[in-house]
Amino acid sequence: MKNIIHIGGMDTYDQTHESGNTILFDIIKKLPFNSTHVLGLQRLKNDPQSVFIPLGGGQKGLENYISPDAVILYDSLLKPQTVLDIYEKHKCPIIWSAMGHDFLTGGCAYPNQHGLSCEKFKTDCSECPQRVNNSPETLKDKIRLNEIELYGVAASTYSLSLMNNSPIFKDKKCALIPFPYDEIPVSDLSKEEAREMFSIPQDKFVIFWGTCHPDTPRKGKVYAEEALNNLYEKVSNPEDFVLVTAGLEPTVSFKNTQPFELIHAGYMDTREKLSHLYKAADVGLQSTVEDAGPMMVTECLMNNTRVVSFDNCVSPDVIEEGKTGFVVPTFDTEAMGEALLKAYATKDLVIDCTKKCLEFNNKESFKKKWFDFLSEVMK
Most confident of 42-46, 180-184, 289-293, 367-371: 367-371
Q: Which residue has the higher pLDDT, 30 or 182?
A: 30
In contact, 5 and 68? CB cutoff 8 Å: yes
Q: Say if residue 135's pLDDT is above 60.
A: no
Taking the CA of residue 74 as centre, how many other CA atoms within 13 Å lie in the half-sphere pointing to its CB? 20
pLDDT band at 350 (very low <50, low <70, confident <90, very high): confident
Q: Say if residue 150's pLDDT is above 60.
A: yes
Query: Once rounded to an integer, what is the mean pLDDT over residues 347-368?
Result: 92
In angstroms, rounded to a whole number, what is the distance separating the alpha carbons of residues 373 and 31? 12
Please, where in the chain does CATH 3.40.50.2000 lie? 3-180+361-377, 183-359
pLDDT band at 129 (very low <50, low <70, confident <90, very high): low
Kindly provide the b/e burial profile for residues 41-56, where b requires at least 16 CB atoms within 10 angstroms of the residue's own CB.
eebbeebeebeeeebe
Length in residues, the chain: 379
Q: CATH for 3-180+361-377, among 3.10.20.30, 3.30.450.40, 3.40.50.2000, 2.20.25.10?
A: 3.40.50.2000
Going 204 to 227 to 128 to 97, the CA torsion angle's sign is positive
Q: Say if residue 112's pLDDT is above 80.
A: no
129 Cα distance to chain centroid: 23
pLDDT of residue 110: 67
pLDDT of residue 103: 85
What average pLDDT is seen over the chain?
91
- Report in angstroms the alpha-carbon separations of 151 from 53, 177, 260, 376: 24, 13, 47, 11
In contact, 208 and 285? CB cutoff 8 Å: yes
pTM value?
A: 0.89
Q: Say if residue 117's pLDDT is above 80.
A: no
In angstroms, rounded to a whole number, what is the distance separating the alpha carbons of residues 167 and 210? 34
The secondary structure element, H or E, covering residue 374 is helix 363-377
In angstroms, rounded to a whole number, what is the distance separating the alpha carbons of residues 108 and 191? 39
Query: According to CATH, what is the number of the domain 183-359?
Result: 3.40.50.2000
In contact, 111 and 121? CB cutoff 8 Å: yes
Convert the pLDDT of each residue in 83-107 to its tens digit. 999 999 999 999 999 988 888 877 6
**Share of residues in the chain with pLDDT > 70 (%):** 93
